[in-house]
Chains A and B, each alone.
Chain A
């Protein structure tokens, strides 16, 4: 990496107070570093104190700093058996890369490595031209991507972790990932011991995987009437009730037809009796057969149509892993130069990663931009541009250099 970047990283770590690097159970965590221009991570590190870690970061500023979500008896041991696993935080990774957002049409590009087809936006699962799956991407993030990930964080906390899992605010740490999203660390003592299978159940719960409405209070009575959950119920019962109510009340006949299938009979019946159907759902002991004789399976379809909205877009592989290496809070991300800031719940709403996670202030830098879409860091903006030499504020320049889109110029 260019010296200007490593030098700025060094200065950042020099300014950092050891306290900024304190994490819970510091000495029971494995720490891992990936140096600039290196492929291999230095693992199995254990430091005596955050101050000692700071010293190492100043001496040789790495591109990426990680720590183990797991607690170990001997984090420095080179094998898992030797480390002695003693539990792990429950981690949720929310990353803009995995969420289709409309703004991606403006800043992301994909290319099929087999046939050379290219396109803008969220990469397709397989190439629309040749059908193969080897697709290369060039991705960027913008405010809109980051806003979407922030909404997912709120959804996860407010709709799932706090009410359903009973997680207290004191047991959660929220971190900007330093690049495209957020990490949530749940450190509750009782959840630490969950196995990977248990964590899978948690991930499936918040993603709505395997959900079956017949387990959530929907029952067909003798006469074909369907009773269902109350709008005020907790857990998935209430979530289903509210989201299905919203669809039944707001969807057009066309939309309902899309959900309920071709004949369109049910869709038009719902539309004709909408008021009455909604009244019956809102009453105590709710009756859900919006129309008598509507099968449970049809209601299941309506529920399915609401899931995209109400479930959480997490990278489940991270949640399942009981020995993940996760970005160290308040260190710098080598692919953006942004700080993986720890954020309190009350500050999250107003948190703007592209300003508040900026680590370098003062001074300008001359760069040559190879190619970049519109980018904002702090108050400075560039692009879209290609092959241009310019003088920009340091934070923006380092961002573009770290992204591989620019080079420093004398």
Chain B
């Protein structure tokens, strides 16, 4: 329970003792507040979080308190950091569990349909999991081996090695922590007054860290930090080539997200043969969230770029990121300290991939495609088949 304080047993421990969150800030539990703060601090510092197996009560209570504090801070960034740290902490512990324990936890906590299996085909697969359960979590991983097409799938179950099931569970935990932040009950949760000083202390640290990591980006496109896929689209655009719907959407969303304004984006499209100023402005405004649903669209992630045939398989930094936007941010960050703030061009943009890969995304010509559809569909999208 100290290892996995998110389990149901832990919640009932708190319930049985009739402890409220407010109590945890009082002098009665001095170690709990201290430990909760330490958990959050470690996650902010990206330090490994240790688990104290001797003091079960303190581990469980401090986890609950830390989570309450994280949610009440209402910072997506902090929630993400905390979830990632918990994922790493649990991942390490889960990797050491027996197959039976893993199977039991996967079933009882996550509700997955998992069972141990005799390794088929001379493999070392030790579990099989229902494909729907697998797909709830696995798309979050970007390594090629986690893609469903690279798994052994038979009879509706995906085969896994022991370590892979542990990894899947740790990731599921992370997603669950992040998902719950948007639940209504959690969003409306009012922190007891006694805990507010603690929360403010955390918020101060969050601000400090954010500054340190340079989460704020410079306004406007930094060419040298642009990921290879979007550089290619931008080059096509400059050459006056006509682009697929998805390419247009991706490059527009990218430019808007790096802080270009609508007029500058439109200028880039002027060379395109079928440029229609009024229509283009409406679409760019829509993506920027200035009209319509008022949602600023995100840049499509690498999986989408691959499926649309836009990924140029850049190698280097590309192999460790899931979204072109992350590439951009990382390159900006790594450029810090370089005179003039410009970014070098060291990261590979050529690379031929892994060698045994058979396919990349294949673009296909499409006719009669609506200009407003695609990933950037307005909520309540009306795509038809």
Contacts and interface: CB of A to CB of B under 8 A. Distances in A.
Interface of A: 32, 41, 43, 64, 66, 78-81, 83, 91, 93, 97-98, 113-114, 123-126, 131-137, 139, 163-167, 177, 183, 190-191, 193-195, 197-198, 200-205, 207-218, 229-230, 233-237, 285, 296-297, 299-300, 303-304, 307, 315-318, 320-321, 323-327
B219 interface: no
A98 B150 contact: no
Nearest to B365: A125
Interface stretch (B77-85, B135-143, B326-334): B135-143
Contacts of A190: 130, 132-133
Interface in B327-377: 354-368, 373-374
B149 interface: yes
A326 B385 contact: yes
Nearest to A110: B367
A325 B358 contact: no
A303 B355 CA distance: 12
Interface stretch (B12-20, B86-94, B241-249): B241-249
B156 interface: yes
17 contacts: A78-B380, A93-B385, A123-B367, A133-B241, A165-B156, A177-B385, A190-B130, A191-B132, A194-B135, A198-B139, A201-B138, A201-B147, A230-B121, A235-B154, A324-B384, A324-B385, A325-B385
Given A166-B157, A230-B121, A214 B356 contact: yes
Q: Which 3 A-B pairs have the closest CB atoms?
A: A166-B156, A198-B135, A133-B242
A211 B139 contact: no
B356 A212 contact: yes
B274 interface: yes
A198 B148 CA distance: 9
B121 A233 contact: yes
Interface residues of B, number: 59
A210 B359 contact: yes
B274 A113 contact: yes
Given A201-B148, A215-B145, A316-B307, A303 B382 contact: no
Contacts of B56: none
B365 A208 contact: no
B359 A209 contact: yes
Contact of B359 (A202, A208, A216): A208
A212 B354 contact: yes
A81 B380 CA distance: 9
B357 A210 contact: yes
B150 A137 contact: no
Contacts of B306: 209-210
Contacts of B355: 296-297, 300
Given A137-B367, A197-B303, 19 more contacts: A80-B379, A97-B367, A124-B365, A133-B244, A137-B368, A163-B155, A164-B156, A177-B385, A193-B132, A194-B135, A200-B303, A201-B138, A205-B149, A211-B357, A212-B145, A212-B150, A215-B150, A296-B355, A327-B385
A323 B380 contact: yes
A296 B357 CA distance: 10
B218 interface: no
Contacts of A320: 307
Interface string B141-172: 00011011111111111000000000000000
Contact of B148 (A123, A204, A216, A317): A204
A216 B122 CA distance: 12
A103 B385 CA distance: 23
Nearest to B355: A297
A197 B379 CA distance: 17
Nearest to B242: A133
A8 B378 CA distance: 35
Contact of B358 (A32, A183, A234, A304): A304
Nearest to B311: A210
Given A93-B385, A198-B139, A209-B362, A164 B132 contact: no
Contact of B153 (A164, A212, A317): A164
A209 B309 CA distance: 10
B149 A209 contact: yes
B307 A203 contact: yes
A113 B368 CA distance: 13
Contacts of B365: 123-125, 135
Nearest to A177: B385
B155 A237 contact: no
B373 to A, nearest CB: 8
Nearest to A327: B385
Max chain B Cβ within 10 angstroms of own Cβ: one of A201, A316, A323? A201
Interface string B303-324: 1101100000000000000000
Contacts of A166: 131, 154-157
Contacts of B382: 32, 41, 43, 325
B378 to A, nearest CB: 9
B359 A235 contact: no
B197 interface: no
A315 B367 CA distance: 12
B273 A229 contact: no
Contacts of A214: 354, 356
A193 B135 CA distance: 10
B356 A200 contact: no
B22 interface: no
Q: Name the residue in A234, A296, A318, A320 with the highest tally of chain B Cβ atoms < 10 Å from its Cβ.
A: A234
A131 to B, nearest CB: 7
